[in-house]
Chains A and B, each alone.
Chain A
């Protein structure tokens, strides 16, 4: 099938009534969550997973994807209007977006952000459609040896891009893999690593772990800090001037391009993309001193980049079966719950699902563009809901979401355990993302590792004898080696600190 055929198949699926409706609900809900500070996209998606159980697989994934890019969008609204990034990905937007708002150009900044996001969403949707099948075809040639090495590379990349210390990310990956292995494994009928707890016989609940690490920990940490409220800046006209439009055209294109590339990298995604694009524009600009004081390029580029990155981060998940960040790990969890194993076979065995999801991303972006500018006023009002009323509600949704996956009280306690663990980790400077990636990849890695070793007669040299695998491991080793060089260590510290 060629591209046009695939896209029309996708549009046909995505334009179904249910899919349109839940795509709409997803982006709406996502925007809402993106607007509210103190509750992240990962926790929300994990929390709302149970709501999508009774939906058809395609519809549920469309809704979850909608939540994700809706949250991107909502995050930039608050970044511009109140200088509070609703999502980490919008931090770069606060720099010039809020400055523009203070000069009375809030409307223009919002409109440019919307246009940039839409443009980036469109281009990256085409990119996924274009390059996805090629990558999946490559992945189908992979044996267990190559798969194992690919996952090693993915995890190494996520270590390199993690903000904390390298060894801390590494040990969290190991611990995550271990947790992922608990329960019944494929080769033996007896559950393992469960301390005899029946509720863990099918493995630990991913939702409980994610809600605990990202949701509960976040609430506890937020309550320690003082969440001060900032007054929103009133909106005047929404339309950017012709000069503002032409000034942001090239930054949008460059941001989209950079974001699309960075989004594919494991551990990268939208966050890195937005900062990278901001830095690039500042470097290319003839008037770099205007950045931080309301340069429209400083809004256009990171907004395009974070949306492009958010979209293309689906590529590794859908074609290789390797989630590249915590949000994709939640998507992988959702797919597994729906009985779809993420990987190259998704595109062939579930073609309508794959293309429907891709087309829905574009439709979702269109909905965001049309809907959100008129709704800005409503979002701003939502910001006024005080945290003292919000956190008990978030707590309640988390608890009920975790419980309802299997109607097991044990999962709720597991979430509490994960929350306390996440709290200790936060105090000691460990990040939760490597743990979650390890948790998702762990069982696949063990399976492939075992099979590879069995085929090779127990000789680990098989991983360097096969060329593709050797190449992947070589890149991993090179990345690690480069990371421990003192000069790179310093640059990385500076580059990632801004986040």
Chain B
């Protein structure tokens, strides 16, 4: 039996833990919803059954993963993951109140740190083009209810 650090590099074991977490969140979400009976099911009947099925599958996978020696092949690259997620979150935070222009510029700036392929001297121009396009095509053209400037 390998040690914990070794186990955490194994695909099947990690997959099992991942599914256990998902199942756990599902179970939490069901909370104290009414279950009902098989004939007259409450809103919680099917969700609870699903949550348990997911938890059981996760447990079986984790257990089975103890004997499955295959290791995760691809490493996690934090930089694109964090920068891309961050860029979209920033967009969501700003777009409501500060308008599409600021939201696009901020998101594009954050996204520019996602990868070494970005040439930072191009970023200002890219921000300008996207902001202009967003304001003209989406807000003016399609009439989406998004402010252009901060309100």
Taking CB atoms and an 8 Å cut-off, the chain A residues in 380-438 that contact chain B are 386-389, 391-393, 395-396, 398-400, 403-404, 407, 409-410, 412-413, 415-416, 419-420, 423-424, 427-430
B22 interface contact, C-beta 8 A = yes
Nearest to B129 among chain A residues (CB) is A393
B111 interface contact, C-beta 8 A = yes
CB of B58 to closest CB in A, whole Å: 7
Interface residues on A, range: 35 or more
Q: Contact at A171–B84, with CB atoms within 8 Å?
A: no
Q: Contact at B138–A392, with CB atoms within 8 Å?
A: no
A168 interface contact, C-beta 8 A = yes
Q: Please choose the segment from A64-72, A173-181, A283-291, A363-371 that sits at the chain B interface, where 4 or more of its residues have CB less than 8 A away.
A: A173-181
Question: Which residues of A lie under 8 Å from residue B15 when comparing CB positions?
Answer: 168, 428-430
Taking CB atoms and an 8 Å cut-off, the chain A residues in 456-471 that contact chain B are 457-460
Question: Which residues of A lie under 8 Å from residue B146 when comparing CB positions?
Answer: 400, 403-404, 407
Q: Residue B11 contacts which of A170, A224, A429 (CB distance < 8 angstroms)?
A: A429
Interface SS, B side: helix
Q: Contact at A220–B80, with CB atoms within 8 Å?
A: yes
CB of A399 to closest CB in B, whole Å: 4
Contact code string B7-18 (vs A, CB < 8 Å = 1, else 0):
000010011001
Q: Residue A167 contacts which of B44, B57, B85 (CB distance < 8 angstroms)?
A: B57
Nearest to A426 among chain B residues (CB) is B74
Q: Contact at A420–B144, with CB atoms within 8 Å?
A: no
A192 to B34 CA separation, bound complex (whole angstroms)? 10
CB of B94 to closest CB in A, whole Å: 9
Q: Contact at B144–A190, with CB atoms within 8 Å?
A: no
CB of B134 to closest CB in A, whole Å: 7
CB of A241 to closest CB in B, whole Å: 42
Q: Contact at B117–A415, with CB atoms within 8 Å?
A: no
Q: Contact at A395–B88, with CB atoms within 8 Å?
A: yes
Taking CB atoms and an 8 Å cut-off, the chain B residues in 101-121 that contact chain A are 104, 107-108, 111-112, 114-115, 117-119
CB of B19 to closest CB in A, whole Å: 5
Question: Which residues of A lie under 8 Å from residue B57 when comparing CB positions?
Answer: 167, 170-171, 174
Nearest to B51 among chain A residues (CB) is A178
> CB within 8 Å of B: which residues of A?
50-51, 54, 167-168, 170-171, 174-175, 177-178, 181-182, 185, 187-188, 190, 192-195, 216, 219-220, 223-224, 227, 386-389, 391-393, 395-396, 398-400, 403-404, 407, 409-410, 412-413, 415-416, 419-420, 423-424, 427-430, 446, 449-450, 453-454, 457-460
**CB-defined A-B contacts under 8 Å, sample of 29:** A54-B142, A54-B143, A171-B58, A178-B54, A194-B29, A216-B88, A220-B85, A223-B84, A389-B126, A391-B111, A392-B126, A395-B107, A396-B91, A399-B88, A399-B95, A400-B95, A400-B146, A403-B146, A404-B144, A409-B92, A409-B95, A413-B89, A413-B92, A416-B85, A416-B92, A419-B84, A427-B74, A453-B39, A454-B41
